[in-house]
Amino acid sequence: MISMSHGISDQLMVMPETLVSHGMPIDTAKRKEIAIEYWQNFLAWFNTAYPHMQRTNTIVAYRGFLSSHSINFAHGEGKRYGLSTISERLGEYKDIICLRRSKLKQ
């Protein structure tokens, strides 16, 4: 997980401390926004460079890295930012299950 976190920071050309705003006198919500923005920039690159590769390990590593720096997500909140592994773990059936869930909500 450490190497994944360093890989993300290397690709974004920032220090790992910058990803979590370590040592900056800002509130937790702002730290979370900054971490999400860095994640979205990384995700844009990753999807272009590796369009068919699963991101599960990368997502788990980044969420663990954020969690170790007190940046946590409520249940289901990570999905909005591309930090959910549910659809990745479902594999070839992810479209069917996601469609079924949307019909159940209606």
The answer to the question of residue 11 being in a domain is yes
52 is in which domain, residue-wise? 4-81
The answer to the question of residue 40 being in a domain is yes
The answer to the question of residue 92 being in a domain is no
The answer to the question of residue 91 being in a domain is no
The answer to the question of residue 101 being in a domain is no
Helices 28-49 and 2-12: crossing angle in degrees, nearest 10, is: 80
Q: According to the model, what pLDDT value does residue 18 have? A: 83
pTM, entire model: 0.69
Q: Round the average pLDDT of the chain to a whole number and report it.
A: 78
In this predicted structure, the answer to whether residue 11 has a pLDDT above a threshold of 70 is: yes
- In this predicted model, what pLDDT tens digit does every residue of 14-43 receive, in sequence order? 888 888 877 777 787 888 888 888 888 888
Looking at per-residue pLDDT, the higher value among 85 and 43 belongs to: 43
Q: According to the model, what pLDDT value does residue 53 have? A: 78
CA atoms within 13 A on the CB side of 11: 18
How many domains does the structure of the chain reveal?
A: 1
